[in-house]
Structure 1
Amino acid sequence: MNLVDWDFAVTVGARVAGPGPEVSPEEAAAAVLELREGADRSTPLVSDFTGLRTEAGTAPVLVVDRRGWLRANADGFSTILKPVVDKLVEKKGPPSAFAEAIGTRVTGAEVGLMLGFLSSKVLGQFDPFHDPHGRLLLVAPNIVHVEREIGADPTDFRLWVCLHEETHRVQFTANPWLGPHLLAQMHQVADTLEPSALLDSLRRGADAIRSGEGSVLDLVSTPEQKEVLDRVTGIMSLLEGHADVVMDGVGPTVIPSVAQIRKKFNQRRKGVGSLDKLLRRLLGLDAKMAQYRDGAVFVRRVVDKVGMDDFNAVWSGPETLPTKAEIADPDAWVARVL
């Protein structure tokens, strides 16, 4: 049984997203090759800078189009929402074939609207929930679109994106406990939602895109739910901030135009109608940009104080991850863990 027709969600999302910028077959092939090479080149750069060691090829690198990103995320959401589906079947039993077909198609359309919008914005993503060790997705049409939009050197920009996304691959593959721990947190969030509340939140998210109002997380209000979400926020802030620090640390050594790229990209992050504004609507707060900003401040302050080797204690296990409060107070994390 499903709550969402994921195949239909992908179809709707692909229609919303469109194919992306126009490129010749030769340009497309060159971009795919350069992104694959950039990901391979980034692995030792990230490992040397961070001190995190991982075997080459532990998680595959996939250069995808927007539909490929949609398919991967539909699969990921299906995994995360499994506890809700199991709970619904346990409580009420399976619905009739007709009710399931109609209901899942409606929610599929609403999820597809959200994912379709996101799929036109995301440059890359590490999917830690894909068996056995995750996979790295690089969304080629979006990378080409942004490099054209900000007037960046394509070779430099592609390597810059690869550095950020490869950092996420290294984070998870060098610390195999991290993916299952994050999935467990996501399952806890999903498990606290009643199926009817989840469906309401999906519809609210779709409405948020249309109207700019509402929040998917308006229904996440119990102390238990907020506690889990605070833990997830702490983890995501660490991961995103750490990747930004690596980009800025490694970038000047291998990317000649990195300063111009960072300046233009930061300006784009503030842009009207961009991914951060969508996430504000869906989450009810400036979550994504706060994760980059606050997480990077946390990592820099701890590394400046104790050095990268001692900072890497953060990857020892769930108990050493920073809380949401510690992200804002790095000294508190140092005092507790070190």
Structure 2
Amino acid sequence: MADVPFGFSAGDDPERDKRKNDPGAGGDPFSGFPGGGEFDMSQLGQIFSKLGEMFSGAGTAMAGGKSTGPVNYDLARQLAASSIGFVAPVPEATTTALADAVRLAETWLDGATALPAGSTRTVAWTPTDWIDNTLETWKRLCDPVAEQISTVWASALPEEAKAMAGPLLAMMSQMGGMAFGSQLGQALGKLSREVLTSTDIGLPLGPRGVAALMPEAIEAFADGLEQPRSEIVTFLAAREAAHHRLFSHVPWLSAQLLTTVEAFAKGTKIDMSGIEEFAQGFDPSALTDPSQLEQLLNQGIFEPKTTPEQTAALERLETLLALIEGWVQTVVADALGDRIPGTSALSETLRRRRATGGPAEQTFATLVGLELRPRKMREAAQLWDKLTQAVGSDARDAVWQHPDLLPSASDLDEPAAFIDRVIGGDTSDLDSAIEQALEEARDNERGEDGPASPQ
């Protein structure tokens, strides 16, 4: 996978800024066209025509299925299935054993958390099953970023260029969807053999209430460990069940995660240096070979750059993921600690797996520029543990009633003040959020009814 996330630049370019401020250094983004200097619309039209021919031909060859939206998911599904190859069905005995492990874990979890069981059935997935059952969620995660990327560069083009481009803009969006779909398919094919459960990356990827474990990946994971396989399976079953308790009984949580991803996407801004460099060095004759099309797209001609809005959204996502993972670790340790001696070691193994940037984190970073790496997971687990000791599991879990009651990123570094607020029953954050919501509702009503008439 590429080191730089798909569609995102690596950062600021001092040389680019120098070129922009120096008219003699190619400040005109179209100065590289034949003839130089002045922007020749007729030459742009010839280039668009040539590109249109190439995109049309390559699109016919690459589609492999219909494309709707900013990502060609048919292509992604086909490539993922192709990379997986043949997989044998999970034996019924394995499915039964996993269901028994989840049932046992649920019983133990009942004594460690006030949140009731969230899973209604247990399944054993093959890699192909994982693709089929999580693709809808991947669409919700990838579409906002892919759509923003596919439209933001077009909106940055000069009006003259838009008028000349005509159908080419739609063609390029289609080709972008193919490129994104191709990358998604390859990544998900690899990821489907790595994940251990449906919630392994901290997101509710599968259907609600379905506890899903991956026997093939669990077997590979257990090979490098000294603990008995039965304990490893029960530990992973408890983590899956704990995640489902949180996602099923904290109704705002799933939506908050997806909203944060969308906020990241909406913060995307175009990096005009991609258009500048493309215009300055573009040679239409180089496009006579369709095989160069994918290489052209992968060069990131129209690259957005990370913005302060995206940085803020990323921090919110990292904090929320850390809180989820820290809570699960705390609850599972309480439920299993006295029953399975290896619980602490297994928790540390998974924490390191996430902290070092496992395949799941790398996949998501490559696809949409977001890292699903909860950098403060250890701090979050310590906060939940201390809070449990201070107020008990019921009051601890009541913190999930509203997002404004959750610890902030700064609370993870200094948990004492947050614990004091919970002990004191401080709900000022929640009261403030409710008041703000009411004020916004009143503003909306005034806006719909028009200005208030004078008394």
TM-score by length of structure 1 reads 0.74
Distance in 1 between residues matched to 2:238 and 2:98, nearest whole Å: 11
Larger Rg: 2
Distance in 1 between residues matched to 2:143 and 2:362, nearest whole Å: 26
Query: What does 1:302-313 correspond to in 2, within 5 Å?
Result: 302-313=387-398
Residues 11-41 of structure 1 show CA distances to partners (whole Å, capped at 9, x for unaligned) of 3334445668xx8x7x843322222222233
Match in the other structure for 1:138 = 213
> How far did 1:284 drift?
9.3
Q: Give the counterpart of 1:321 among 396, 406, 410.
A: 406
Distance in 2 between residues matched to 1:258 and 1:316, nearest whole Å: 28
Distance in 2 between residues matched to 1:316 and 1:182, nearest whole Å: 15
Contact 1:314–1:320 at 8 Å: present in 2 too? yes
Compared with structure 1, are the counterparts of its residues 77 and 318 closer, same or farther at alpha carbon in structure 2 (3 Å cutoff)?
Answer: same
Letter in 2 for 1:290: R
Match in the other structure for 1:212 = none
Compared with structure 1, are the counterparts of its residues 255 and 329 closer, same or farther at alpha carbon in structure 2 (3 Å cutoff)?
Answer: same
Q: Give the counterpart of 2:181 among 92, 108, 125.
A: 108
1:67 paired with 2:128, answer yes
Distance in 1 between residues matched to 2:267 and 2:174, nearest whole Å: 25
Contact 2:102–2:122 at 8 Å: present in 1 too? yes
Distance in 2 between residues matched to 1:95 and 1:173, nearest whole Å: 45
Match in the other structure for 1:30 = 93
Gaps of 5+ in 1: 198-217
Residues 58-108 of structure 1 show CA distances to partners (whole Å, capped at 9, x for unaligned) of xx5432112222333432121134445666679879978755554322221
Letter in 1 for 2:204: P
> How far did 1:231 drift?
1.6
Match in the other structure for 1:206 = none
Q: Give the counterpart of 1:13 among 58, 73, 80.
A: 80
Distance in 1 between residues matched to 2:357 and 2:409, nearest whole Å: 27
Contact 1:238–1:296 at 8 Å: present in 2 too? yes
Distance in 1 between residues matched to 2:356 and 2:115, nearest whole Å: 37
Q: Give the counterpart of 1:164 among 213, 224, 239.
A: 239
Compared with structure 1, are the counterparts of its residues 159 and 219 closer, same or farther at alpha carbon in structure 2 (3 Å cutoff)?
Answer: farther
Compared with structure 1, are the counterparts of its residues 262 and 18 closer, same or farther at alpha carbon in structure 2 (3 Å cutoff)?
Answer: farther
Letter in 1 for 2:235: W
Match in the other structure for 2:193 = 120
Compared with structure 1, are the counterparts of its residues 284 and 38 closer, same or farther at alpha carbon in structure 2 (3 Å cutoff)?
Answer: same
Q: Give the counterpart of 1:175 among 250, 253, 257.
A: 250
Match in the other structure for 1:43 = 106
Q: How many residue pairs are counted as aligned between the two chains? A: 310
> How far did 1:196 drift?
9.1
Superposition RMSD in Å: 4.0
Distance in 2 between residues matched to 1:70 and 1:107, nearest whole Å: 16
Contact 2:108–2:335 at 8 Å: present in 1 too? yes
> How far did 1:219 drift?
5.8
Which segment is superposed worse, 219-228 or 152-161?
Answer: 219-228
Relative to its length, the structure with more helix (as a share) is 1
* SS of equivalent to 1:62: strand
Letter in 2 for 1:288: R
Distance in 2 between residues matched to 1:280 and 1:103, nearest whole Å: 17
> How far did 1:4 drift?
1.7
Letter in 1 for 2:353: R
**Percent sequence identity over aligned pairs:** 23
Distance in 2 between residues matched to 1:19 and 1:220, nearest whole Å: 40
Contact 1:302–1:331 at 8 Å: present in 2 too? no
Distance in 1 between residues matched to 2:86 and 2:413, nearest whole Å: 40
Compared with structure 1, are the counterparts of its residues 280 and 109 closer, same or farther at alpha carbon in structure 2 (3 Å cutoff)?
Answer: closer
Query: What does 1:207-218 correspond to in 2, within 5 Å?
Result: none
Contact 1:13–1:116 at 8 Å: present in 2 too? yes
Distance in 1 between residues matched to 2:373 and 2:224, nearest whole Å: 21
Residues 142-193 of structure 1 show CA distances to partners (whole Å, capped at 9, x for unaligned) of 0121122324422221111011111110011122222222222222222323
Distance in 2 between residues matched to 1:103 and 1:48, nearest whole Å: 50
> How far did 1:315 drift?
0.6
Distance in 2 between residues matched to 1:336 and 1:278, nearest whole Å: 37
Q: Give the counterpart of 2:116 among 47, 53, 63.
A: 53
Contact 1:19–1:66 at 8 Å: present in 2 too? no
Gaps of 5+ in 2: 1-67, 156-165, 273-302, 426-455
Q: Give the counterpart of 2:330 among 222, 225, 245.
A: 245
TM-score by length of structure 2 reads 0.57
Contact 2:146–2:180 at 8 Å: present in 1 too? no
> How far did 1:318 drift?
1.3
Q: Give the counterpart of 2:353 among 269, 276, 300.
A: 269
Distance in 1 between residues matched to 2:91 and 2:318, nearest whole Å: 36
Letter in 2 for 1:175: V
